[in-house]
Amino acid sequence: MILYQLLMVLALPVLLAHQAAFGAKGAVAERLGYGIAPRTGPGGRLWLHAASVGEVTSARWVIAALMAARPGLQVLVTTNTATGRDRVRGWQMAGVVAALAPFDGAGAAGRVMDRWRPQALVIVENELWPARLCAADNRGVPVLVIGARMSARSARRWGWLSGLIRPMLARIDWLSAQDSDSLARLLNLGLRAEAAGPVMALKSVGEVAEAPALPFAPPAARTATLLAASTHEGEEALVLDAFQAQSQFQHLILAPRHPRRGDEVAALLVKRGLRHARRSKAENPATETQVYLADTLGEMDLWYAMAGVAVIGGSFADKGGHTPWEPARAGCAIVHGPSLHNFAAPFAALDRAGGAIAVTEAADLARALQGLDAGQQSELSRIAAEVLMPQSDGAEVIDGILRALKV
């Protein structure tokens, strides 16, 4: 922990300079823990932290349920990105405020704790930061984790830092893991047995939302539109190879996991001579547009609504794949590659039931896409919706958090 603190001290000037130069409005103050203060009055306070748009969106139902159960509750939601912060602000939920997460050093987390005096700190997935947990521990604030996941690969890496990881996990008061394998690995890494809560995937809970208002008229029918969702380096070329080798789909929406790679992906499209438009440039696709580069954050629900088939990014790049629940709820047929360790259980269930197309070799992707006509898309999406139907309403998770809120 001492070495970690020293590293954070050395990194702080660089982090501050970056936030001052490139950060969103209010970034420096929020990163140092001087952000929004709670309002005065009765009611409890909760601090919930999530990484970015996807994670905070998966926890929205948790926030809503807690506020319904505890009228007057104030919730501070922090995220690592301005896009995540803006997503929460866009909800306009009474009693919920959003800010950028404090640095894990310079006493920033402690300042947030002292300003807000939360009854609990709720952490979404794997956003475990040593100084933040230490600040909570020093003030007697219980630390709760929801949707925690730990792949075998990540567990091996965390094991190399056991001197830092074990004390951090020991500070967790209650943890709900995404799956039983994740829970077992976290226990082995140092989570206390008495802290183990119910197993439940946050992203599995949620209702089928109304179709979002589309920002432009789709250039092709949904059944003729393919989405490559949250792609990583190397996957764009693979998907483009398959797209250009098949005739089932007229239009491709290419949504990189990291929008900062937009220029790189756009250059690839130019090199291939593909007619394209870019979301980050406010360009709308025309009928003749072959590829729409969706290089923004927080708009994946739009692309799911336009596409009949979603190729799951990260599953062809050895990144462990991304969520199957969101495309399934949107009615997309799912195609995935072999790298699935982030969501091994739901993808295995989909494959067993015939609710997804598994492509083990990149060269076979074009062949898999060629056979996905409207009827097969409908059948795949129907099976996926049934397989991934929530097995729980999340009441156990809500009850676990409520027990920590002594109001």
Helix or strand (DSSP H, E) at 43: none
**Cα angle at 237 between 231 and 238, to 5 degrees?**
80
The answer on 288 and 398 residing in a single domain is no
Helix (H, G, I), strand (E, B) or coil at 133: helix
Positions marked active-site: 55
Is residue 215 in a domain?
Answer: no
pTM summary value: 0.85
d(CA 113, CA 111): 5
d(CA 328, CA 384): 6
Number of structural domains found in the chain: 2
Is residue 1 in a domain?
Answer: no
Is residue 19 in a domain?
Answer: no
The answer on 104 and 67 residing in a single domain is yes
Residue 213: both structure tokens together: 């208002």
The answer on 251 and 191 residing in a single domain is no
The answer on 255 and 107 residing in a single domain is no
d(CA 122, CA 310): 32
The answer on 183 and 54 residing in a single domain is yes
The answer on 252 and 189 residing in a single domain is no
The answer on 257 and 122 residing in a single domain is no
The answer on 380 and 281 residing in a single domain is yes
The answer on 341 and 311 residing in a single domain is yes
Residue 361, domain extent: 222-387
Whether pLDDT at 362 is above 90: no
Helix ranges (H only) for 60-129 are: 60-69, 82-91, 108-116
Give the list of residues 6+ apart from residue 100 with CB closer than 8 angstroms, or none: 23, 24, 26, 27, 30, 31, 35, 78, 79, 80, 81, 82, 85
Whether pLDDT at 123 is above 80: yes
pLDDT band at 369 (very low <50, low <70, confident <90, very high): very high
pLDDT band at 285 (very low <50, low <70, confident <90, very high): very high
Phi/psi region, residue 318 (left: phi>0; alpha: psi -120 to 50; beta: rest), is left
Whether pLDDT at 28 is above 90: no
Residue 54 has what pLDDT? 87
Q: What is the chain's mean pLDDT, rounded?
A: 92
The answer on 379 and 240 residing in a single domain is yes
CA distances to 108, 125, 201, 315 from 101, rounded to whole Å, are 9, 15, 23, 29
- Per residue in 64-109, pLDDT tens? 999 999 999 999 999 999 989 999 999 999 999 999 999 988 799 9
The answer on 231 and 194 residing in a single domain is no
Q: At 245, which CATH number?
A: 3.40.50.2000
The answer on 383 and 234 residing in a single domain is yes
Residue 4 has what pLDDT? 67
Q: At 196, which CATH number?
A: 3.40.50.11720
Give the list of residues 6+ apart from residue 267 with CB closer than 8 angstroms, or none: none
Mean pLDDT of 185-205: 94
Whether pLDDT at 6 is above 80: no
Residue 23 has what pLDDT? 72
Whether pLDDT at 402 is above 80: yes
Q: What totals of helices (H) and strands (E) does the chain contain, helices first?
A: 18, 13
